[in-house]
Amino acid sequence: MIKIPEQIYQRLIEYAENGAPEEVCGLIGGTKADGAKEAREIYFLENAAHSAARFSMNPAEQFAAIRDMREKGISPIACFHSHPKSEAKPSAEDLRLAYDEEICYLIISLKTKPVIKAFRITDKIASDEDITVL
């Protein structure tokens, strides 16, 4: 389960809408307790691919975000990206590139109305994860 404050949830949707038609991406830092992750900070990163169909996080920005999280005593709990024209479910490319079985993968779909779905990806297989908006 991932808990996301309403303000962060809304900022994710706004970022995806403002970045369209390209995919947007970033990280969320927070805490983990009793099997639940709670979002504290959002890090909007450049999609270095500048593509409407894939994303690649800017490595320098990614390292800076991790460094900032460490300084604040939080850790990476989620990676997010948008799907401007498709459903909020991991693509074959998303599954192939999933790098951490401990974090949550958030996908923001803009296909019809904005929606955010969460996934856990283990051994390249996605399973739904619950989102609670605080």
The distance of Cα 85 from the centroid of its chain, to the nearest Å, equals 17
Q: pLDDT tens digits, residue range 49-104?
A: 999 999 999 999 999 999 999 999 999 999 999 999 999 999 988 998 888 888 99
Q: Which CATH class is domain 2-133?
A: alpha beta
Check if the beta carbon of residue 107 is closer than 8 Å to that of residue 88: yes
Q: Give me 22's structure tokens.
A: 């390209």
pLDDT at 35 over 90: no
pLDDT at 39 over 90: yes
Please report which confidence band the pLDDT of residue 125 belongs to, taking 50, 70 and 90 as the band edges.
Answer: confident
How far is 82 from 72, CA to CA, in rounded Å?
26
pLDDT at 124: 87
